[in-house]
């Protein structure tokens, strides 16, 4: 029983990171209509920036964390200014390919700046644990889950209650008409990129706490994309549920399926595959994801 | 209030859409801009609203002034903040958002957020159906309700000038009558000027004070509505009215020649 509980907790804390990354995806997609394949890379850059300030420059962890978020937001705004401002209204494939290219550029740039070594960030909560009965919980995983739930609530309120949030959703649906309503579409897109990249940086830093800071951590972005699609690409709720679901599925698959033998057939490391299998099955039943809605088509 | 003088615009550097039109919308008036397809109605209002880049539209000559200020080079959102709001052709409501959220976006340009509830209520007075449908997704409204929402979305910004682009498009005559009645009420009660772009001359001339007739990028006729309604050519070409009891044939009309006279 305790084992199950631990799997759930660990699954949730990995899942919370997927959720955060997926949240960034959804934020950018919801407001600009761009599917950002560079989300994982942006998270990696965020983690490296935090590492630079916290470990190399020896600043207090919280300060380094906030600086990384700030730099993340500026980077996001800059990316919008440089690449996507002139891509408004251009074909979807062109914008997607730009994000794919951006992903490679970010990885190489990070390689040049920070090198290819593996680093770790020492956070004040690293290696600290909390014991509830026989179950051991790390502070890191609790904070990760807490922060991702907090951001979830903040963004739900933001998109449904605030003027800027509603304007962002409107702009995503029809930028031209949004302009006619007095919305500065460029500003909205810039804000979306800034916020999306900031959230990616949060995810990257928490991911670094659970593992290491290295270039390959950007691969988590693919799973986050699976999480976002599973939840329904345009749904904040979906991003969080999808992320947590994929984290849990991975946890259980790693513990119960990996290495198991059924009728002479050996399962290898199915952890990596399990999440995608579930995603495919869910999409076959609900093509728009768990919380996705079909577009209203009415002429 | 809005003053367009000698406006000439070109699409993609070659197609001359407006060949020097001049028109004026005085405060508190309903001005109708009539014309067939391709006359340049939508080009005119897109130019006024600053939607030029997306359409590859450039102003070659002429000026657009709003309350004495030149708005030739302004961006769409800057023009909205001056108090000109467009109700676009084909309604273009945000189908994925709820009716209420559409109104919230409509009020985006208003700097004073505190009286939003009051303005929304005011809009609900004109369009009670929008209150009933407040939390429904706008895409599921009927065509008439969508047109009402599009007008409400413009009105909630408390503009000085509303530009309506073919509000009668695709609506049943009864619904058109209802909506035009409301437009007239809005004009009277809210002290807002309206530039009404229409193909349906009948309904447009019924509520407007002044009218311009546009043909292939030129203003061919203008005048107070009562005069236009009495004009023989307009009665025939736009209102479909002929002398009672006389049988008409195309040969008698020679309308082609009469029309040609307008354009030369």
Q: Which residues of A197-221 are buried (b: 16+ CB within 10 A; e: fewer)?
A: bbbbbbbbbbbbbbebbbbebbebb
Confidence of residue A257 (pLDDT cuts 50, 70, 90): confident
**Crossing angle (nearest 10°) for helices A39-51 and A185-210:** 60
Contact A182 B94 (CB under 8 A): no
pLDDT for A279: 85
Torsion sign, CA atoms B179, B181, B185, B191 = positive
Q: Phi then psi for B37, rounded to 5 degrees?
A: -65, 140
Are A25 and A207 contacting, i.e. CB atoms less than 8 angstroms apart?
A: no
**For B101, nearest residue in chain A (alpha carbons):** A166
Domain ranges (residues) in chain A: 13-215
Instruction: Output the pLDDT for position A137.
Output: 81
Q: To the nearest whole angstrom, how far is the Cα of B194 from the nearest Cα of chain A?
A: 16
Nearest CB to B94: which of A89, A174, A179? Answer: A174
What is the arithmetic mean of pLDDT over A253-276? 80
Asked if pLDDT for residue B259 goes beyond 70, the answer is: no
Chain A residue with minimum CA distance to B153: A181
pLDDT of residue B243: 60
Q: Is A298 in the B-facing interface, judged by CB distances under 8 Å? A: yes
Residue A113: is its pLDDT beyond 80?
A: yes
pLDDT band at A123 (very low <50, low <70, confident <90, very high): confident
pLDDT at A194: 95
Confidence at residue B166, expressed as pLDDT on a 0 to 100 scale: 92
- Least confident piece of the model among A163-167, A237-241, B206-210, B246-250: B246-250
Predicted confidence (pLDDT) at residue B186 exceeds the cutoff of 80: yes
The distance between the two most distant Cα atoms of chain A, rounded to a whole number of Å, is 66
Give the percent of chain B with pLDDT over 90. 62
For residues B150 and B87, is the Cβ–Cβ distance under 8 A? yes
User: Does residue A181 have a pLDDT over 80?
Assistant: yes
Percent share of chain A, pLDDT over 70: 98
Mean pLDDT of B49-56: 84
Its pTM stands at 0.84
Q: What is the 3-state secondary structure (H, E, C) of B186-246?
A: HHHHHCCEEEEEECCHHHHHHHCCEEEEEECCEEEEEEEHHHHHHCHHHHHHCCCCCCCCC
Nearest to B182 by CA among B212, B162, B211: B162
Contact A179 B106 (CB under 8 A): no
* Residue that wins the pLDDT comparison between A6 and A108: A108
pLDDT value of position A30: 82
pLDDT tens per residue, range B136-150:
999 999 999 999 999
* Average pLDDT over every residue of A79-105: 90
pLDDT at residue B250, as a whole number: 57
Model confidence at B264, in pLDDT bands (50, 70, 90)? low
The pLDDT mean for chain B works out to 88
pLDDT of residue A236: 84
**A176, B51: Cβ pair inside 8 Å?**
yes
Q: CA of A237 to nearest chain B CA: how many angstroms apart?
A: 17
B240 or B207, higher pLDDT: B207
Cα(B17)–Cα(A191) distance, rounded to whole angstroms?
A: 37
Q: Do A173 and B94 touch (CB under 8 A)?
A: yes
- For residue B248, pLDDT beyond 70: no
Q: What strand order describes the sheet that includes B193-198?
A: B84-87, B161-165, B193-198, B30-35, B210-215, B218-224
For chain B, what's the residue count?
264
Q: What pLDDT shows up at residue B244?
A: 55
Inter-chain contacts counted by CB atoms under 8 A, chains A and B: 80
Q: Report the gap between the CA of A294 and the closest CA in chain B (Å).
A: 10
Judged against a pLDDT cut of 70, whether residue B52 lies above it is answered with: yes
Q: How does residue A299 score in pLDDT terms, banded at 50, 70 and 90?
A: very low
Average pLDDT over residues B104-128: 90
B97 vs A170: CB contact, 8 Å cut-off? yes
Banded pLDDT at B234 (limits 50, 70, 90): confident
Encode pLDDT of B53-96 as tens digits.
778 888 989 999 999 999 988 988 999 999 999 999 988 999 98
Residue B260: per-residue pLDDT: 59
The ipTM assigned to this model is 0.84
Minimal Cα distance from A292: which residue of B? B96
Give the dihedral of Cα atoms B243, B244, B247, B251; nearest 10 deg.
10
pLDDT at B25: 95
In Å, what is the CA distance from B23 to each residue of A76, A282, B44, B88, B195? 45, 59, 10, 20, 10
Q: What is the mean pLDDT of residues A249-256?
A: 88
Instruction: Point out the residue among A167, A176, A296 whose CB comes nearest to the CB of B96.
Output: A296
* Percentage above 90 pLDDT, chain A: 42
Q: Is the pLDDT of residue B163 over 80?
A: yes
Which helix (H) or strand (E) segment holds residue B81: the answer is helix B76-82
Beta carbons of B105 and A180 less than 8 Å apart: no
Distance from CA of B78 to the nearest CA of A (A): 7
Residue-wise pLDDT for A29-81, tens only, equals 888 888 899 999 999 999 999 999 998 999 999 999 999 999 999 999 999 99
The whole-angstrom separation of Cα B105 and Cα A171 is 9
Mean pLDDT across chain A: 88
Closest in A89, A167, A297 to B108, CB measured? A167
**A72: its two tokens:** 């993340």
What residue has token string 């035009």? B180
| pLDDT for the residue numbered A175 | 85
Q: What is the pLDDT of residue A162?
A: 92
């Amino acid at each position: 029983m305790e084992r199950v509980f631990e799997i759930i907790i660990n699954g949730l804390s990995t899942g919370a990171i997927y959720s955060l990354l997926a949240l960034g995806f959804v934020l950018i997609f919801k407001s600009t209509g761009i599917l950002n394949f560079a989300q994982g890379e942006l998270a990696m850059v965020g983690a490296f920036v935090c590492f630079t300030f916290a470990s190399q420059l020896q600043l207090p962890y919280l300060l380094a964390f906030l600086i990384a978020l700030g730099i993340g937001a500026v980077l996001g705004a800059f990316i919008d200014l440089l690449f996507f401002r002139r891509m408004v209204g251009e074909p979807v494939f062109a914008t997607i390919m730009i994000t794919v290219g951006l992903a490679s550029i970010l990885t190489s740039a990070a390689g040049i700046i920070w090198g290819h070594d593996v680093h770790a960030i020492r956070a004040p909560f690293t290696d600290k644990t909390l014991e509830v009965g026989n179950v051991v919980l790390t502070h890191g995983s609790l904070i990760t889950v807490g922060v991702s739930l907090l951001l979830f609530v903040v963004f739900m309120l933001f998109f449904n209650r605030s003027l800027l949030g509603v304007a962002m959703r409107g702009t995503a649906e029809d930028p031209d008409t949004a302009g006619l309503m007095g919305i500065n579409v460029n500003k909205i897109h810039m804000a979306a990129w800034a916020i999306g990249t900031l959230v990616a940086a949060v995810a990257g830093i928490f991911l670094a706490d659970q593992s290491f800071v290295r270039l390959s951590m950007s691969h988590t972005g693919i799973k986050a994309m699976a999480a976002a699609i599973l939840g329904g690409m345009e749904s904040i709720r979906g991003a969080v549920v999808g992320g947590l679901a994929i984290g849990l599925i991975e946890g259980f698959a790693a513990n119960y399926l990996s290495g198991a033998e059924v009728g002479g057939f050996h399962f290898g490391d199915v952890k990596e595959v399990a999440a995608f299998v579930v995603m495919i099955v869910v999409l076959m039943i609900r093509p728009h994801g768990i919380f996705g809605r079909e577009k209203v088509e009415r002429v | 209030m809005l003053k367009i003088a000698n406006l000439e615009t070109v699409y993609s550097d070659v197609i001359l859409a407006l060949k020097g039109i001049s028109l004026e919308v005085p405060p508190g008036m309903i001005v109708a801009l009539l014309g067939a397809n391709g006359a340049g109605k939508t080009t005119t209002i897109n130019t006024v609203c600053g939607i030029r880049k997306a359409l590859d539209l450039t102003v070659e000559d002429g000026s657009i002034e709003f309350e004495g200020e030149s708005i030739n080079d302004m961006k769409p959102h800057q023009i909205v903040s001056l108090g000109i709001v467009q109700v676009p052709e084909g309604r273009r409501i945000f189908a994925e958002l709820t009716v209420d959220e559409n109104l919230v976006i409509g009020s985006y340009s208003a700097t004073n957020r505190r009286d939003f509830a009051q303005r929304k209520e005011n809009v609900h007075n004109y369009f009670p159906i929008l209150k009933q449908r407040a939390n429904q997704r706008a895409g599921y409204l009927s065509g008439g309700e969508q047109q009402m929402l599009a007008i409400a979305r413009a009105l909630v910004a408390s503009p000085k000038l509303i530009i309506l682009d073919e509000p009668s498009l695709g609506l049943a005559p009864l619904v058109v009558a209802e909506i035009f009645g409301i437009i007239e009420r809005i004009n009277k009660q809210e002290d807002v000027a309206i530039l009404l772009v229409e193909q349906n001359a009948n309904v447009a001339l019924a509520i407007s004070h002044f009218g311009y007739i546009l043909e292939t990028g030129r203003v061919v006729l203008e005048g107070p509505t009562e005069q236009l309604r009495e004009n023989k050519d307009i009665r025939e070409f736009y209102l479909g009215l002929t002398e009672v009891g006389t049988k008409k044939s195309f040969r008698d009309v020679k309308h082609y020649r009469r029309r040609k006279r307008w354009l030369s």
